[in-house]
Amino acid sequence: MSFCKDRVVVITGAGAGIGREHALEFARQGAKVVVNDVAAPDAVVEEIRALGGEAIGSRDDISDWDGAGAVIAAAIDAFGTVHTVVNNAGILRDKMLVNMDVDQWDAVIKVHLRGTFCVSRHAINHWRAQDKAGTPVDAPRLVNTSSPSGLFGNPGQINYGSAKAAIAAFTVLAADELARLGVGVNAIAPTALTDMTAGLDAYVAAVEAERERTGFDPGDPGNIAPLVVYLGSPASEGITGRVFTIKGGEISVAETWVKGPRAVQEKRWEVDEIAATLPGLVERARPNTQINGSPRT
């Protein structure tokens, strides 16, 4: 079964790593792919064509408003429309908060968060225009990329984690706002071995140990692509506003912030009352979660 036959899919940051695997799997599932990457889209375009698929490359900067518009315009010029956008592009500038400078903060926020907004906004312009013209795009989809670092936290990645947490919130909000247009909006929080995870020694060691034990490579970025293809396809109808973690052969539905233990009174709280009440609420609350999913201690 071809989940995305003749669908037009724009994938940002698709020149290597997880994005490359997305592009190849969409092509295998029948999609026409726009491979966006500021550095090297051409090799992936050729790989797709060698598979018998259709693809074009784009070197536009998706964190720039006009650059993001150019990516969507290129898809429409080449293939007539856009059905799915996969916001995957990202960079790292890892530092602890006490050592991070404003340029390192801005660079990461710009690519991840602003880039997700810019490309999504241009795609939505196209979908709204088609809807108003009476020719709505079939099953429009946004698939965003969050991260366990954004959902659970990872020291040393305060810029990256903050951007990825914001993308998770963006996903929930956009799903609500775009429901009337029939746009499905979801996100993934993937874990895989790529150039961006090269310095995570503990994770690399765990992946190598599992590969040796089972023969399955849980760090292969190709493990992530099938979920993204499904979320970018018409088959995902009815699933929207969700963030999914995926690591190797494990998929889970991330649950948003929820109200935990609470105290209520029908008057303004005084500071001394809060001092007497809040520690007990915190004691009864579930602990925050570590990046590997276990409770923080």
| Residue of 120, 164, 203, 247 marked active site | 164
Per the annotation, the verdict on 32 as an active-site residue is no
How many Cβ atoms are within 10 Å of 98's Cβ, its own excluded? 6
Tokens of 244: 């999914």
Report which residue type is found at 10.
V
| Residue of 63, 120, 146, 147 marked active site | 147
Tokens of 173: 């909000």
| Residue of 32, 58, 146, 160 marked active site | 160
Q: Using an 8 Å Cβ cutoff, are 10 and 123 in contact?
A: yes
Strands 250-254 and 242-247, bridge-based pairing: antiparallel
Dist. CA 108–CA 116, nearest whole Å = 12
Per the annotation, the verdict on 160 as an active-site residue is yes
Dist. CA 297–CA 222, nearest whole Å = 33
Q: Using an 8 Å Cβ cutoff, are 171 and 105 in contact?
A: no
Per the annotation, the verdict on 110 as an active-site residue is no
Count how many Cα atoms sit within 13 Å of the Cα of residue 62 in the half-sphere of its side chain: 37
Q: Any alpha helices (H) in the chain, and if so which ranges?
A: 17-28, 42-50, 65-79, 102-109, 115-132, 148-151, 158-178, 201-214, 225-231, 271-284
**Which residues are known to be catalytic?**
147, 160, 164
